[in-house]
Structure 1
Amino acid sequence: MDTSNSTLVILITGTSKGIGLALAEHYLKLGHVVYGCSRSEAAIDHDAYYHFALDVSDEKQVKSLFSAIRKQHKGLDVLINNAGVAAMNHAMLTPMDTVEKIFNVNVFASFLFCREAVKLMRKRPSGRIVNFSTVAVSFSLAGEAIYAASKSAVETLTRVLAKEFAEFNVTVNAIGPTPVQTDLIRNVPDDKIEQLLSQQSIKRLGEFADVINVTDFYIQPSSDFITGQVMYLGGA
């Protein structure tokens, strides 16, 4: 898997905006084929970009997406599970429909995409899966019990799948970003953001380039001996 000299088939979830959009544009600029998905229509107009408007937790819709990848490109090289939702609220004030939504998107969808992705990756010499966690896990932030719990589940999923998928030469790793200026933190009070940043070693918001850098590292050919790892940004 050579990210600079060969064309990869890359699937990124949540590509309508934010980190997912930045990742998609980055890999398109490098000459790769990118499949993206979100609830909304495509935000990218590019000959090598294929977009699917779907619910990432809907098994039927997701299977249809992977079927399209198999028919058109015969396999998949990279999956980036970027799609996610968050809610910041005291546990006593958190309704069950919020809990279900967060786990559906953050945990169940991540598992579903990993499961279907490895079926296509095993047709290739190797594969890469990158999941998304958060520094809220390591900081045990008050007000983020459900969000942090869902991402803790993603980390456990990452470590277990790394062992299960190793026989197919597929690595599974995760990134734990610090807050990045996206819609995910738009409604978080400034004092809460400052409180979080004060706990980091490097006290600034994350940038798209920080996330792209780690993603590039995970999927490069020389990272084939790295799996089951979670890399937190900012010195969490």
Structure 2
Amino acid sequence: MSKIILITGTSKGIGKAIANYYLKKDNIVIGCSRSESSINHKNYRHFSLEINNEIAVVNMIKNIKKEFQKIDILINNAGIASMNHILTTSIDTISKLFNTNFIGTFLFTREVSKVMMKQKNGRIINFTTVAKPLRLEGEAVYASSKAAIETFTQTASKELAPFNITVNAIGPTPIQTDLIKAIPKNKIDELLNKQTIKRFGTFEDIINVCDFFCDDKSNFITGQIIYLGGVNN
């Protein structure tokens, strides 16, 4: 039976790969990004917005509810990265990172949960990063924005459990996407060497965990954070 899946940040990279995967499995996918849609499929709907714009997010969820009456799965994929020493990090950079990564995740979780609460069922997947447990130099603010998402994930899982909504998070290792293009090669190599399995992650690795969290049999799994590549706290 097809599901209604909402994925943020679907214009490229991980979000686009996840969207295409679930479209191939005959689901209805709703995506969003700052830009116009880069996916052309009869079962895909796209919204162009800033994910930290409260009014835009509220209106988007209202429109989805009006058309489909439900939302089965929310994947909060949208995010931005920045690599700066704390001595050279501006307040503007901090605001952008937290507004996109944390506030965007919060707004979509809050609004979609209102829909899931009424249907008494739902799956929410958030995105963190291995930069958080590895305490990578140069990623203090980026990792902090994702640490906020981890705490939010675990607390939200308790608040939403009475409505049969699970909330979990995935922490990918570096994936070869635009997000890491600006990071020096030696920094990427240093990160990969800290992993138990020393390779880049793939879209398939991430989709595998999404499938696990979304599976009907995973209704007893919530408040969990899975880091890929064998990274430990």
TM-score, normalization: structure 2? 0.98
Structure 2 residue runs without a partner (length 5+) = none
State the distance in 2 between where 1:53 and 1:144 align.
28
2:118 to 97, 120, 123: 123
Select 1:177's aligned residue among 172, 179, 183.
Answer: 172
For the pair 1:203 / 2:198, whether they are aligned, the reply is: yes
Q: What amino acid sits opposite 2:124 in the alignment?
A: I
Q: Take 1:75 and 1:32, find their aligned partners in 2: how far apart are those partners?
A: 13
Q: Which amino acid aligns with 1:120?
A: V
C-alpha distance in 2 between matches for 1:120 and 1:141? 37
Secondary structure, in 3 states, of the residue corresponding to 1:123? helix
Deviations 1:85-108 (A, max 9, x none): 010010000111000000001101
1:75 Cα deviation after fit: 1.2
Matched, 1:10 2:5: yes
In the alignment of these two chains, the number of paired residues is 231
**Residue 219 (structure 1) aligned with residue 214 (structure 2):** yes
Deviations 1:116-172 (A, max 9, x none): 011111232410000000000010000000000000000000000000000110000
- Of 217, 225, 233, which aligns to 1:230? 225
Which one of the candidate residues 29, 33, 40 is aligned to 1:45? Answer: 40
2:46 maps to amino acid: H
Counterparts of 1:68-79 in structure 2, within 5 Å, are 68-79=63-74
State which of 132, 143, 146 in structure 1 corresponds to 2:138: 143
Residue 207 of structure 1: how far off its partner (Å): 0.3
1:23 aligns with 2:31: no
Number of the residue aligned with 1:164:
159
Q: What residue identity is the alignment partner of 2:83? A: M
Q: Counterpart of 2:170 in 1: which secondary structure?
A: strand
Q: TM-score, normalised by structure 1?
A: 0.97
- 1:3 is aligned to none
The partner residue of 1:133 within 88, 111, 128 is 128
Structure 1: gaps of 5 or more residues: 1-5
* Identical-pair percentage: 54
Q: Which amino acid aligns with 2:188?
A: I
**Distance in structure 2 (CA, Å) of the matches to 1:210 and 1:225:** 22
What is the RMSD of the two structures over their aligned residues, measured on CA atoms?
0.6
> How many angstroms does 1:174 deviate by?
0.0
Structure 1 residue 206, shift from structure 2 partner: 0.3
Q: Secondary structure in 2 aligned to 1:52? A: strand
- How far apart in 2 are the matches of 1:115 and 1:161? 9
